[in-house]
Chain A
């Protein structure tokens, strides 16, 4: 890749932290100074970089020692190796016990020193042979060692080369094992992913069914004791008749069989204990004698306290209000807030006309007992 002038400026800006204008100006100044120095016959040196000088009218650059070292950091420690120990062309006839340690297919360097191409071939062969022939040892300098030491080193290298081969084989085996293990673990992981999905589906189904049951109980479609709380009277008015404003006459036969008790003011705070004064009436106090008649049921509430408060409101307004508690299989215990005691249904319906604005939309006229 070639770095052009602009790219060079950007790199210098990144390295120095200076502004682009400043860098460009300084670069131009540098180039001008170098040219001027060389034209005057002088050299221009940049510290720890190199020297620009003139040689026969041509500009040359001599890098500094530090720069050369830095560029060749990859080859640090590599020293020239004496090849005389390898050359065996003149000593082939003699048998040395040390020669038995050498490889038989050694390259004779003396014969191929003539041509550079042959040298390169020899070097490439040398690389193929690798550890069996000359190897650059970057960690020690062998120039001062004797031939015996070099041969011993070669012996050790051969031994270690063999051990490395076996180790590489072991590593490859271990790699195969690890790859098999990883494949197996991946399969297990894949299979395990399907289980949580099944569990999630079952959890969702359970949650939905539970919420459905609670909703049904809340809206009084089903009755689950102690599951839902009792709410305010405006929310728990249970309308036994749906048509608003219509008189609903409920016969006893159509009602569910339930035990009804005659009402008395059982709650403390209510002062309307029954008096034998007026048997029937819309106003006044409650009379036990009027329990054989009919009444207007305004509300059927679950909360006794709310029923008492509603009844009290009627009493405070001067009307004959009372409560009939009734147990219901569907709704549990209900407290009916009743208005007036009448001898007949007709009397009750006549009374309703006078107080239409007081009555809720759904009210019923019913026999008290």
Chain B
């Protein structure tokens, strides 16, 4: 595998995740984009904090 290929692989999956598309790699698994809404959190010191929203990559492995 060349670096050029790995770089292109990373870029393509990243772009698709940003566009909220799921990427299915046969033999490996599926990459999905999941949105986490903003939420409140209670800290240990008793203060309440509003956590901003974010997107994460979820990977679901293919079962052989």
Listed in ascending order, the chain A residues whose CB lies under 8 Å from chain B are: 1-5, 8, 11-12, 15-18, 22-23, 26-31, 33-35, 46-50, 58-61, 63, 67-68, 70-75, 78-84, 87, 109-110, 113, 116, 119-120, 122-123, 134, 136
Chain A residue at minimal CB-CB distance from B64: A35
Q: Known A16-B5, A84-B47; judge A49-B13 contact (CB<8 A).
A: yes
Q: Known A18-B4, A80-B52; judge A46-B10 contact (CB<8 A).
A: yes
Instruction: Report, as a range, how many residues of chain B touch the other chain.
Output: 35 or more
Per-residue CB contact flags for chain B residues 1-39 toward chain A (1 = under 8 Å, else 0) read: 110111111111110111101111111110101000111
Residues of B near A16 (CB, < 8 A) are 4-5, 7-8
Residues of A near B16 (CB, < 8 A) are 3, 11
B36-52 interface with A by 8 A CB criterion: 37-42, 47-52
Chain B residue at minimal CB-CB distance from A32: B27
- B interface secondary structure, majority: mixed
**Contact B61 A60, beta carbon cutoff 8 Å:** yes
* Number of cross-chain contacts by CB at 8 Å: 145
Q: How far is the CB of B42 from chain A (nearest CB, A)?
A: 6
Residues of B near A87 (CB, < 8 A) are 48
Residues of A near B50 (CB, < 8 A) are 80-81, 83, 134, 136
**Contact B56 A59, beta carbon cutoff 8 Å:** no
Residues of A near B25 (CB, < 8 A) are 5, 8, 27, 31
**Contact B61 A59, beta carbon cutoff 8 Å:** yes
Chain A residue at minimal CB-CB distance from B27: A31
**Contact A61 B21, beta carbon cutoff 8 Å:** no
Complex Cα spacing A4 to B7, Å:
19
Chain B residue at minimal CB-CB distance from A62: B59
Chain B residue at minimal CB-CB distance from A30: B1
Q: How far is the CB of A229 from chain B (nearest CB, A)?
A: 77
**Contact B14 A67, beta carbon cutoff 8 Å:** yes
**Contact B49 A80, beta carbon cutoff 8 Å:** yes
Q: Known A2-B24, A12-B8, A31-B25; judge A83-B49 contact (CB<8 A).
A: yes
**Contact A59 B48, beta carbon cutoff 8 Å:** no
**Contact B6 A67, beta carbon cutoff 8 Å:** no
